[in-house]
Amino acid sequence: MPEGIFDKVVKIAQSRGFVFNASSIYGGLRSSYDYGPLGVLLKNNIARLWWDSINDLDVQIYPVDTAIIQSSEVWKASGHLAEFTDPMVDHKPTGERFRADQVPEDIKKEDLTEPRQFNLMFETNIGPVKNENSAVYLRPETAQGIFVNFENVLRTMRAKIPFGIGNIGKSFRNEITPGQFIFRTREFEQMEIEFFCDESEEDKWFDYWIENRLNWYRNLGIPENKLRVRDHDKSELAHYAKKTSDIEFDYPWGWGELEGIANRGNFDLNAHQENSGKELSYFDPNNELKYIPSVIEPAGGLTRTLFAVLLSLYEEEELEKETRTIFKFNFDLAPIQIGILPLSKKDELITVCGEINATLRSMFRTEIDITQSIGKRYRRQDEIGTPYCITVDFDTLEDKSVTVRNRDTMQQERIKIEDLSDYFNNI
């Protein structure tokens, strides 16, 4: 990784419109971020590639989009009300709070209070009267929305085991020590699959999902040497998990979680069946047996993946007089796929850019970029990771051709305007 990559990537993410500090005109809200135009495009692309990859499988994965606020019974049954806690300590001299395993190295142990458990769920109230019956929680994982819809999906889609249910959306955790930009925030997006299978096939599907998800990260362009799989010790396992392996990424500060693959057994369906009194079993027509299926859960972070992608694909290239900075997004992932640049601000060139844009924008993510010199515009497009730029110059008015510049090789070729759609469709 280039030196100082964390600061450089954060700076470009903020200055180029990927991620902004939330409430910035009021001085910001610590560890809260807004996604700007390019960040939204990139995040949407990652989410689309996630859905595309699971639609492409031999096994069926049904999509759902479930409520952030569910009945509090959900969190009682899932164990989150009782168990979703982190040990917290106070630094006596300053009153600062830390997660017990994330205390900065320069703080002395004797200056800390004894750890106490802190529930990470955000509590709020529903309706006009605030009392203990009105308490609800912002979901700390999208997974529970899937479990409580297991029977709905099974029935309406006539689902047959093995099958999965996928859910992407916001989750909320009142993290004691958020930080490292968008790596750990209190509001973030997850992409989760609960994959329902027969207990005898748990290990097979566990291995399947590790390989499947690793491949997905590789296809985003994250290099092999930045990914690894780490199995959890028994002591690390979440209250619902029989076994978990993390897909980890080599962040600038060291290895850290990107996605967790857990064997949740039948913990959740069992718990919801008991708590709700509704049957949540599966009837297997082949052997006429009824059982509560096991669950393998690939649980990834959408916003965390976005950060890993920025860190992985950032490159610097020394040119004669300057350093070129590039996000090497592949064509599918790039927020803007094609920049359309008039050589100058002359009306006749801008008109042609508009015409080209009108043809390409229904197929590709395009942008007309007019501000600054052509050299500076190329640098900006490199820095936001646009794989191709089309330049419209005065010859274009005569020969109906444009220059297409490749971000990575910086090579330019002359292409007829009428051939542009085919050219980009064949990439």
What is the contact surface with ligand GAP in residues (CB under 6 A)? 141, 143, 173, 175, 184-185, 188, 190, 192, 257-260, 297, 299-301, 303-304
CB of 308 closer than 8 Å to CB of 222: yes
Q: Measure the CA–CA gap between 157 and 159, rounded to whole angstroms.
A: 5
Which of 18, 364 has the CB closer to ligand GAP? 18
Contact residues for 162 (Cβ-Cβ < 8 A; gap 6+): 59, 195, 196, 197, 198, 201, 205
Backbone phi, psi, residue 7, to 5°: -65, -40
Q: Can you tell me the distance from the alpha carbon of 124 to that of 144, in angstroms, rounded to the nearest whole number?
A: 18
Q: Where are the alpha helices (DSSP H) in 291-346?
A: 302-313
For residue 173, the minimal CB distance to ligand GAP (Å) is: 5
Q: Supply the minimum distance, in Å, between the C-beta of residue 86 and ligand GAP.
A: 11
Shortest distance, CB of residue 80 to ligand GAP, whole angstroms?
Answer: 10
The DSSP code sequence of 137-158 is EB-S-SHHHHHTTHHHHHHHHT
Q: Tokens 């009105």 belong to which residue?
A: 134
Task: Please say which residue, 72 or 144, places its beta carbon nearer to ligand GAP.
Answer: 144
- Closer to ligand GAP by CB, 21 or 359: give it: 21
Task: Tell me whether residue 268 or residue 369 sits nearer to ligand GAP (CB atom).
Answer: 268
Cβ of residue 223: shortest distance to ligand GAP, in angstroms? 19
3-state SS, residue 222: coil
Q: Cα(10)–Cα(183) distance, rounded to whole angstroms?
A: 11
CB-nearer residue toward ligand GAP: 21 or 403: 21
- The distance of closest approach from Cβ of residue 261 to ligand GAP in the complex, given in angstroms and rounded to an integer, is 9
Q: Which residue minimizes CB distance to ligand GAP?
A: 301
CA distance 264 to 253: 30
Q: How far is the CB of 150 from ligand GAP (least distance, A)?
A: 15
Task: State the nearest-atom distance from the C-beta of 413 to ligand GAP, in Å.
Answer: 40
- How far, in Å, CA of 123 to CA of 174, rounded? 10
**Long-range contacts for 319-323 (Cβ within 8 Å, ≥24 apart)?**
322/379
